[in-house]
Structure 1
């Protein structure tokens, strides 16, 4: 089954066979356009994989899309969230309120949501500003990055660990922990149908954002985790991929290997960039010299912040491999090739 990416206006709820439906839910104002929500039938009510962005239009699309598939949103049994990002977890709380459904996700992302609720947006805004200044960002970028952010999603009722089966009567839906895009990102292997719900981990055309926050932390290696997770998914074999964006495709393993190769090439290019610089550079300087889909000068401040996070994740991976080193100067973090 393959459904090439089309504008949201052309998307419709689709019967994928085997008791699985896809329901496109819009992401207002986002170039991705929509999230593909999957509904799995069960004798005790449908279980959703992700829920979509928290917006009235998205809620109507989810409710009406399920109705078109012969399902009542008030009878949803549970929502499995692949990761905490708002285009995946945003409506989970409203589904729970409407139906009494449980919400499940990996503990690492559940912990992040709890932290967001505990600290509040004002504290997170100050933390983002400090992170950007240490990276070498200018005042405009700091101001843009500290603008309003959506409210954190609902705290889950249940957590899932690697290898756990989801509460889906009559089916075998197994959790595959795939950290990288977020610390608690999960894929879901429908073992009785050789299908893999890939969330944002493996997409058919684009690659997910792999960043590190704060940029200068040293207690994690998200790109290293992501590359290991790609190998893990490739090891599951040639499964049909049901991703959260773009379109359904075959051969998850082949695409996972392609994405891994892409990042290894990016790491090589980054090492060359630092060697040619001849001096330590800030994360912001490095990001501005890297190759992106659009020229750095054309990127709005928010996208520059995301690019810097990706640069930082690649730098951290190279640091773990012993290929680059930190060269702090004042409050700023700088990187150079390891001599």
Structure 2
């Protein structure tokens, strides 16, 4: 594989068996990059994810494809693990340049469609109401009520609408390959892993290779938050969905995991066991905090993050509160915590 201009990192990495990965940068993000995979098929190359919609990201994607001996115009399809902008962001541009189809699970396609059809003002008012209910202070909510012209736009408000559906349990239409979709909700409602049911090129023990998206990563845990329709009052349990999905992936026992961040790794069952234990430890720790009734915002302030709460940026605090609420829902569903009757904003306590 060719090297980058600096020579510090390869433009593309060959995993063998007609699979390569490209590092597509994520601007201003500690993750650094998304690993986009190029899978050869009998009809031409197909991408798994595309990267963030940014000029530097597009240039990195194009350079990586050149290093693989192909180009954007030769792509035949794009398989999206989930709708987040560091995975789906460049899908529309890839399709425009190549005519490639774009495939996604129906649950995430629904989110993309809702995002495209809902006016930004509706999202701001919905977020303000959610944060108020979660107990956020007025100084945090106030920016959401500023005039539209003075607001910073959200990324990904016009994501590409997929034209194919990924059906769980079925092989994708990739001639010459056996790539099966595994529905793994939690990180998003429609997140999918993709099981390449072919012998590992290095004959590692196990069952094929797994493109794990953000579901299973070697050294970090994915965010578990809420993706809800402002007009739908259904109470979801994304953390419960994630834990169930983890166990399902562990039972596949793939020879190697090809994640969307960090690096490839082996022994999926051990990593699944670690993550299940991590979340149980975290839930137990939250119960100790809930000895005193707390709002979701107050719980988020006290939870352990990768930096102290005062150093967490504005947007990341919204994500943290969403994750705190996801954990509260799991505890309530398990009968380990409950809402305090009559509290406003609603507080929760351990049972």
Which bin holds the TM-score, normalised by the shorter protein?
over 0.9
Q: Is the 8 A contact 2:50 2:90 kept in 1?
A: yes
Aligned-partner SS, 1:156? coil
- Count of paired positions: 329
Q: Which runs of 5+ in 2 are unaligned?
A: 1-5, 145-150, 200-207
Name whichever of 297-306 and 231-240 sits farther off: 297-306
TM-score by length of 1: 0.92
Name whichever of 113-122 and 132-141 sits farther off: 132-141
Distance 2:68 2:24 in 1: 14
**How do residues 208-227 of structure 1 correspond to structure 2 at under 5 angstroms?**
208-213=222-227, 219-227=235-243
Residue 149 in structure 1 maps to residue 158 in structure 2: no
The offset of 1:298, in angstroms, is 2.2
Residue 295 in structure 1 maps to residue 337 in structure 2: no
Q: Tell me the residue number matched to 2:217.
A: 203
Identify which of 276, 283, 297 aligns with 2:296. Answer: 283
**How do residues 148-187 of structure 1 correspond to structure 2 at under 5 angstroms?**
148-150=153-155, 151-187=157-193
Distance 1:144 1:32 in 2: 27
Q: Tell me the residue number matched to 1:306.
A: 319
Please list the CA deviations of residues 275-315 of structure 1 after superposition, one character each: whole Å capped at 9, or x if unmatched: 2x2xx221111111222222222222222211111111110
Supply the RMSD in Å over aligned alpha carbons.
2.0
Q: Which runs of 5+ in 1 are unaligned?
A: 1-6
Q: Is the 8 A contact 1:50 1:81 kept in 2?
A: yes
CA pair 179-77 structure 1, distance change in 2 beyond 3 A: same
Q: Is the 8 A contact 2:189 2:227 kept in 1?
A: no
Distance 2:7 2:143 in 1: 28
Residue 326 in structure 1 maps to residue 332 in structure 2: no
TM-score by length of 2: 0.89
Distance 2:22 2:304 in 1: 35
CA pair 62-39 structure 1, distance change in 2 beyond 3 A: same
Q: Is the 8 A contact 1:86 1:152 kept in 2?
A: no
Q: Tell me the residue number matched to 1:75.
A: 74
Higher RCO (CA < 8 A, seq sep 6+): 1
Distance 1:313 1:215 in 2: 15
